[in-house]
Structure 1
Amino acid sequence: MTGTWLLGIAAVLMISAVTLFYTLSDIPRPETLPLPQVATILYSDGSVMARIGTVNRTIVKLDRVPASVRWDILAAEDRGFYKEPGVSIKGTMRAAISDLTGGDPQGGSGITQQYAKNAYLSNARTLSRKLKELAIAVKLSRQYSKDQILEFYLNTVYFGRGAYGIQAAAETFFGRDVSKLNTAQGAVLAAQLRAPSYYDPAVNPREAQARWRYVVRGMLSTKHLSQEQADKLVYPNVLRPDNGTLGTTGPTALIVHQVIQDLETHGITEAEINTRGLRIQTTIDRNAQNVALSSIRQTFANLTPQQRNFKNALVAVHPKTGAVVAYYGGPNGKNYAGKVDNFDWAGIGSRPPGSSFKPFTLATVLTQTMRKTAARPALTISSFVDGSYCVLIQGRQICNDPGDRGVSSSSVSVSLAMKYSLNTTFDQLAEQAGPNNVAATAHAAGIAKTDGNGKKTLANSNGRTGFGIGIGDYAVRPIDQAVGFATFANNGGRNDPYFVQKAVDSNGETVYEHKQATKRALDPKVANDV
């Protein structure tokens, strides 16, 4: 009975608060909203790395926006906009409870509530902010038509690359007036809204196109596209970003993207970063970053014409914390072949790591020995195993590198097999330990379980893992590999990688601060032996 009374009192208080906010709150129109403030991104020592947040906004009437583009937006963000009420009480309460209890950031907001949130330029995870958002959304729904609300939203929502509103977005991404956009182009812009930095086609092309297909499917489900029309749609050409709008160029801009994504993961949107004048202290060590860039330049200074298609990346992670202290994702400009390359090869790109993956295979074998796993070989680093130059595994001939012929042997210690990186030994160990078990060890140590498209990692296109995992046959992101190695260095304790130490707004209020949470991935003895 007491619980029922408490719930009743809480409900009355919330209704009273919404009523108060409803009475006192004005409805901001797009042209009255404050212009964004520049955000400052700092190295770990407090020196300035970059300043971002160039303002780009032009207000247009709704009738300038083609109908198909409007439906693109609604397919992505609020498919029931014209049929349903402007507010979701249940969704708002769910999001507020999650925010207050420290859960994952919740959406729970349609177009109307999103505009209300944008109007107040804050994503503070507080109940009062949620109630104020709800009150303004209710007031919006009563005072304005659906078309007017949609117009407000389209003129204020952030699309990425410094573009606020759909006119600025049309110019930024396609170099044309919004009235000239077609359905496919509108779907690209709609796909951006969920996370503008992450779904930028120049930054994350695969994920951007996957999200674009989601929007097209939404247009089908709302019957604003026929199947025949959808089948004819082709992902359009998108302009490359003007680095000047980001506030920095070259490799540093890729770090800025990672910083933005880190904050977005914790509920602080790119729009908020660009509007609140945040000072963001990163984990990047200025000296370590300079050494990293110097190493890249020296290592790849004298490439032959055939070598100029190389893609390189570098990530340094602090083992005790997971802080990324140095990061190079690529040139973010012209590559060695003279072609424009804006892709982030460290945080998004993945390639088979080869022999550098063998420590995970060894860790799996040693863990099984410690646990006395049934039907698995009991091996230590001093045990002797097969390191023959060539062996036959499941009908496939596997051989060591030609340079290892002199150290190959049918009986070699595990430690020497690791020292000389013998392929035959580690493929056999992976088969004996179980390829899926090797994958599980790597995932626990820090290798992501899924890629950006939600597909299983450390597996082939059919989702199966073979013994080739023993010598790194499956693609891995450099940042994940760095985290995995940091786990070994940290006695088996894994820390997820992060770029942001702390973010403070222009009023000095802390809006985010990193909290460390080390997880036990490997037994310390196993980590030490590896």
Structure 2
Amino acid sequence: MSEHRRKPPQSRGRRAASSGRRAEPPPAPPAAPVDGPPGVPGQRAHGSRAEARRAAQRGGRRRAGGAAGTAASAAEGASGGRRRRAEPTGRKRLIDYPRANKRGLRRWVPSWKQVVGSAVAFFGLMVGLVGLAYAMTEIPDPNQLAQQQSNVYYWSDDTRMVVSGGEVNRQEIPYEEIPEAMRHSVVAAENATFWDDSGIDPMGIGRAVLNMARGGDVQSGSTITQQYVKNMYLTQDQTLERKARELLLSIKVGAERSKTEILAGYLNTAYYGRGAHGLQAAAQAYFGVDAVDLDPSQCAFLTNLLKGPSLYDPWNLQGEPDEGNLERAQGRWEYVVERRVEVGNLDQAEAAEMEFPEINEPTPAMDKEGQIGYLTSLVDQFLISEGIVTEQQLSTGGLQIHTTFNPRMMEQMEASVEAVKEEHIDPEARDEDRHVQFGAASVIPGDGAIVAIYGGAGYPEHYVNNANSPNAQVGSTFKPFVLAAAMQEGIRDPEGPPEQSREERIQLSPESVYLSEDGLQINQYNGETLYVEDAETGEDITWEQANFEGKSPGELTLRESMEVSANSPFVQLGMDIGPATVAEVAEAAGLLPDSLGPANDTVPSFALGVSTPGPIRMATAYATFAAGGERAEPYSVTRVEFPDGESYEYETETQRAFEAAVANNVNDVLVSVVESEQGSGHEIVRQGFDKPAAGKTGTTDDNKSAWFVGYTPHLSTSVGMWRIASDPEDLREDEEAGFMSMYDTAGMTRINGSSLPLQVWLGFMREATADHEPTEFPEAPEIGETIWGGGAESPPPPPPEETEAPPEEETEEPEAPEEPEESEDPEPSDPPTGEEPDPEPTDPCMPWTPNCEEQGDPGGTDPGTSDGPGNTTDPGTSEGPEGTDPGENGDPGSSNSVFPWD
């Protein structure tokens, strides 16, 4: 071998050995003792390849170190054999699971360290999550149901009328109005640690769970705060999610809300049964008192109901006594009282004196039956129309509404209507009595307060409020507005244009004379013939006004025309004034424009009451006359108290509608309607009404409605009557929808304003004005000019001889005594007008002629030519109001009716 032969490096000896190449053996290690361990300095080297292999195996999985490792490697390399690589020791795992160095089942069983560590980690994680959830939790707005309250309506004397409005019966009250006994009872029975806890009670929850696990009664374990949170912010769902939110919110609310706020909120939102949400509603439902007036015994009973109203109300849902509930209520009541003693907020002596309270029989909390529904709807409409509240506020509730309605007068109004219906209306006996309806209203003159109404048969049978807007025509009760327009604005100058100012017109006196004839042709204000379009043919025809029952009384003053309700004088007077001007005067009195209908020179019937104002507005407008021309808008609310403590007060304002002289003359004429024997309202005097009264009757075309509107200086009342089905489904095959004729209704030939409507008015006003002073109306001054219009002929001027030659009258005076002696007629005592020869000295005095006093014998025995008001052609046996001749404007005993007038 060459001396220049390259030697392999020492570091590659191991590779060479493994590859099987021969290599020059390494230098021999220094000598070592024979008995030393192999590979240790001082020991001898292995003598053979087998020894080297055994030495390597003894090294096991340990890493050979130092010279021993080097020697073993050298020996193995020298021997040329293979060596198994030693297994390295692995890095220790963070979570030793499955467990290392364990075999079988033990490999999968965690150690106690792992168990404890996992529990601690889980607890920490949960604490962190709860903390995060708490930090992210915000107190939401109260739910809609918790915010809703009822509206409480009060009578004019501030007594409670009804609870209505909103979806729930609730009236929220402040903490200060919650009786102390109620606070103590609830805390003692529901959550004794309330004043100290954080909003939740873990021990209470644990006890509830344990009790339910043992088979005891179901318990919620909830604190007062939790129940408040559930009522105010959450739903009543029984889910884990809702419960988790309840717990978090309870802690949050407990930290951010005062205990007094939480307790008041709980008592104001809790359900007590009988439809009552909140303590105030419950106090009214069970005891008929306000919450602030509850006594300790009543408070203990109401605390029972928080556990379950259906278990502790002594009356069941059918309004019948429930002995089981009563027994449970008494037992629970005793428990509440004992708990108060235990927690120290009630003395034992006081507890011993307490007795179980008397519980009222249940009544509907939101009762709109009968007239109450009309009252609340009328109030709601007024509040919204006046901008006092919005519909949303009414729906949300919580309003304390004080009304103008007088409870005593309301009862009297309803009683009067029902008495007349019971006596005269019998739908089973007469088909003509089917669908008969009444509407009425009473208003205070000069103030506008609506004190009583009759809206119909009542909720739910009849929903339309007949006192408000029944769309029934008012007929001749409209004529006073025509008369007022004649005196205030005046008739138009026939020589002037259609539009004239007040200064261009002629203001009339109520003693002005107009012709009253049946079929009288109506002219325009300038005397030209009035043509109107025929509804059937479309042709222009003249307007010939019919009088009631074809009567033709001749020339009448406006006062007399009003007394007997003659039509033709007022139709022509309305055309002379102008229907548009009459409408303006009616609006000034208090009627609404949209209830009047068309008002122009093509509508001559406007003066006859084709308008549909309704009883409230008619009573209001007549009250304007009673108040001397001062109009006050009708109102039904005096005060409103809002949930936030704010309030609204109604203030009456009046406006001058007419001159006082005009209003007092209208009063004077309408007093004549009542007091005159020929007046259509004379039945008031005949039946002994003891207060000065004025009024007007009204009957419409085809007898589809009848009215009486009358007043004293203190009260104005309007009563209407008509026939119309409340529900179209009630109509029979022979009946038509809409207003029906009242011929033969109540067994009478026809229904007039002086019949049943006047009877209702009398029945009500006799009671309603019983305590009023019999105040007279102010004296009516002379007003306007006296004219002869509408076809009436003015009397000839006095002859000049009467003023130019007084001596001649003296010379003829001796002849005067001789005439009485010859005829024995007492008439010659009249003033000496007999000097002028009467062209028709034997003709009788025409009825309703001014200053004429010969109108027949009131006893009905003189066969004269006048059978009573409104008929000058029938030589019947009844000329006065006591006769028996049939006729609407004749005697009151005619036509199967004791009420003869329009």
**TM score, norm. by length of structure 1:** 0.53
Partner of 2:870: none
User: Structure 1 residue 420: deviation in Å?
Assistant: 0.9
Which whole-Å CA distance do the structure 2 matches of 1:430 and 1:379 have between them?
12
* 2:407 matches 1:286: yes
- Do 2:443 and 2:450's aligned partners in 1 also have CA atoms closer than 8 Å? yes
Q: Taking CA–CA contacts closer than 8 Å with sequence separation of 6 or more, which of the two structures ends up with the larger relative contact order?
A: 1
Counterpart selection for 1:419 from 547, 563, 577: 563
Partner of 1:267: 388
Residues 464 and 504 of structure 1, relative CA distance in 2, 3 Å threshold: farther
Partner of 1:519: 655
Which whole-Å CA distance do the structure 2 matches of 1:318 and 1:465 have between them?
36
Given residue 399 of structure 1, which amino acid in structure 2 is its aligned partner? A
Counterpart selection for 1:310 from 420, 429, 436: 436
Q: Deviations over 1:85-115 (max 9, x none)?
A: xxxxxxxxxxxxxxxxxxxxxxxxxxxxxxx
Q: Deviations over 1:174-217 (max 9, x none)?
A: xxxxxxxxxxxxxxxxxxxxxxxxxxxxxxxxxxxxxxxxxxxx
Residues 32 and 325 of structure 1, relative CA distance in 2, 3 Å threshold: closer
Q: Deviations over 1:46-94 (max 9, x none)?
A: 122111135369xxxxxxxxxxxxxxxxxxxxxxxxxxxxxxxxxxxxx
Partner of 2:448: 322
Which whole-Å CA distance do the structure 1 matches of 2:576 and 2:521 have between them?
14
Partner of 1:428: 572
- Do 2:165 and 2:397's aligned partners in 1 also have CA atoms closer than 8 Å? no
Residues 400 and 28 of structure 1, relative CA distance in 2, 3 Å threshold: farther
Which whole-Å CA distance do the structure 2 matches of 1:519 and 1:263 have between them?
21
Partner of 2:371: 251
Q: Secondary structure at the match of 2:438?
A: coil
Which whole-Å CA distance do the structure 2 matches of 1:409 and 1:375 have between them?
32
- Do 2:469 and 2:613's aligned partners in 1 also have CA atoms closer than 8 Å? no
- CA RMSD in angstroms, aligned pairs only: 3.0
Residues 464 and 251 of structure 1, relative CA distance in 2, 3 Å threshold: farther
Residues 446 and 27 of structure 1, relative CA distance in 2, 3 Å threshold: farther
Which whole-Å CA distance do the structure 1 matches of 2:154 and 2:144 have between them?
31
- Do 1:317 and 1:486's aligned partners in 2 also have CA atoms closer than 8 Å? yes
Moved more, 468-477 or 251-260: 468-477
User: Structure 1 residue 342: deviation in Å?
Assistant: 1.0
Residues 286 and 383 of structure 1, relative CA distance in 2, 3 Å threshold: same
Partner of 2:639: 502
The structure in which a higher percent of residues are helix is: 1
Which whole-Å CA distance do the structure 1 matches of 2:472 and 2:649 have between them?
32
- Do 2:488 and 2:507's aligned partners in 1 also have CA atoms closer than 8 Å? no
Which whole-Å CA distance do the structure 1 matches of 2:555 and 2:491 have between them?
22
* 2:606 matches 1:469: yes
Which whole-Å CA distance do the structure 2 matches of 1:370 and 1:524 have between them?
19
- Do 1:276 and 1:505's aligned partners in 2 also have CA atoms closer than 8 Å? no
- Do 2:413 and 2:453's aligned partners in 1 also have CA atoms closer than 8 Å? yes
Counterpart selection for 2:598 from 453, 459, 468: 459
Q: Secondary structure at the match of 1:361?
A: helix
Structure exhibiting the larger radius of gyration computed from Cα positions = 2
Counterpart selection for 1:385 from 499, 510, 514: 514
Pairing of 1:148-163 with structure 2 (within 5 A): none
- Do 1:385 and 1:413's aligned partners in 2 also have CA atoms closer than 8 Å? yes
- Do 2:632 and 2:653's aligned partners in 1 also have CA atoms closer than 8 Å? yes
Counterpart selection for 1:479 from 616, 621, 624: 616
Residues 27 and 389 of structure 1, relative CA distance in 2, 3 Å threshold: farther
- Do 2:625 and 2:663's aligned partners in 1 also have CA atoms closer than 8 Å? yes
* 2:185 matches 1:38: no
Which whole-Å CA distance do the structure 2 matches of 1:475 and 1:33 have between them?
42
Partner of 1:368: 489
User: Structure 1 residue 310: deviation in Å?
Assistant: 2.1
**TM score, norm. by length of structure 2:** 0.32
Which whole-Å CA distance do the structure 1 matches of 2:503 and 2:457 have between them?
49
Which whole-Å CA distance do the structure 2 matches of 1:314 and 1:272 have between them?
30
User: Structure 1 residue 529: deviation in Å?
Assistant: 0.6
Which whole-Å CA distance do the structure 2 matches of 1:465 and 1:476 have between them?
21
User: Structure 1 residue 341: deviation in Å?
Assistant: 2.4
Which whole-Å CA distance do the structure 2 matches of 1:465 and 1:261 have between them?
35
- Aligned pair count? 306
Pairing of 1:70-469 with structure 2 (within 5 A): 246-264=366-384, 265-273=386-394, 275=396, 277-301=398-422, 302-303=424-425, 304-333=430-459, 340-369=461-490, 373=502, 376-393=505-522, 394=530, 395-402=542-549, 405=551, 408-450=552-594, 457-459=596-598, 466-469=603-606
Residues 428 and 32 of structure 1, relative CA distance in 2, 3 Å threshold: closer
- Do 1:54 and 1:245's aligned partners in 2 also have CA atoms closer than 8 Å? no
Q: Secondary structure at the match of 2:617?
A: helix
Which whole-Å CA distance do the structure 1 matches of 2:491 and 2:603 have between them?
24
Which whole-Å CA distance do the structure 1 matches of 2:651 and 2:520 have between them?
48
- Do 1:246 and 1:253's aligned partners in 2 also have CA atoms closer than 8 Å? no
- Do 2:575 and 2:601's aligned partners in 1 also have CA atoms closer than 8 Å? no
Given residue 517 of structure 2, which amino acid in structure 1 is its aligned partner? S
Residues 321 and 510 of structure 1, relative CA distance in 2, 3 Å threshold: farther
Which whole-Å CA distance do the structure 1 matches of 2:586 and 2:466 have between them?
20
Given residue 247 of structure 1, which amino acid in structure 2 is its aligned partner? D
Q: Deviations over 1:115-134 (max 9, x none)?
A: xxxx9xxxxxxxxxxxxxxx
Q: Deviations over 1:398-420 (max 9, x none)?
A: 12212x83xx4332111111111
- Do 1:458 and 1:476's aligned partners in 2 also have CA atoms closer than 8 Å? no
User: Structure 1 residue 28: deviation in Å?
Assistant: 5.0
User: Structure 1 residue 297: deviation in Å?
Assistant: 0.7
User: Structure 1 residue 270: deviation in Å?
Assistant: 4.2
User: Structure 1 residue 469: deviation in Å?
Assistant: 1.4
Residues 27 and 351 of structure 1, relative CA distance in 2, 3 Å threshold: farther
User: Structure 1 residue 274: deviation in Å?
Assistant: 5.1
Q: Secondary structure at the match of 1:341?
A: coil
Moved more, 42-51 or 341-350: 341-350
**% identity of equivalent residues:** 28
Moved more, 421-430 or 343-352: 343-352
Q: Deviations over 1:350-404 (max 9, x none)?
A: 22100100000000001124999466454201222212233012312212212x8
Given residue 594 of structure 2, which amino acid in structure 1 is its aligned partner? T
Given residue 655 of structure 2, which amino acid in structure 1 is its aligned partner? K
User: Structure 1 residue 290: deviation in Å?
Assistant: 1.1
Which whole-Å CA distance do the structure 2 matches of 1:474 and 1:358 have between them?
11
- Do 1:40 and 1:280's aligned partners in 2 also have CA atoms closer than 8 Å? yes
Which whole-Å CA distance do the structure 2 matches of 1:399 and 1:487 have between them?
30
Given residue 519 of structure 2, which amino acid in structure 1 is its aligned partner? C
Which whole-Å CA distance do the structure 1 matches of 2:633 and 2:578 have between them?
26
User: Structure 1 residue 288: deviation in Å?
Assistant: 1.3
Which whole-Å CA distance do the structure 2 matches of 1:36 and 1:296 have between them?
37
- Do 1:369 and 1:378's aligned partners in 2 also have CA atoms closer than 8 Å? yes
Which whole-Å CA distance do the structure 2 matches of 1:32 and 1:324 have between them?
35
Residues 368 and 44 of structure 1, relative CA distance in 2, 3 Å threshold: same
**Which consecutive unaligned segments of at least 5 residues does structure 2 have?**
1-137, 170-231, 233-274, 276-362, 493-500, 523-529, 531-541, 667-902
Given residue 385 of structure 1, which amino acid in structure 2 is its aligned partner? Y
Which whole-Å CA distance do the structure 1 matches of 2:145 and 2:407 have between them?
37
- Do 2:491 and 2:506's aligned partners in 1 also have CA atoms closer than 8 Å? no
Q: Deviations over 1:485-525 (max 9, x none)?
A: 11111111111111000112456x34211011101111111
- Do 1:495 and 1:519's aligned partners in 2 also have CA atoms closer than 8 Å? yes
Counterpart selection for 2:630 from 486, 489, 493: 493
Which whole-Å CA distance do the structure 2 matches of 1:389 and 1:397 have between them?
8
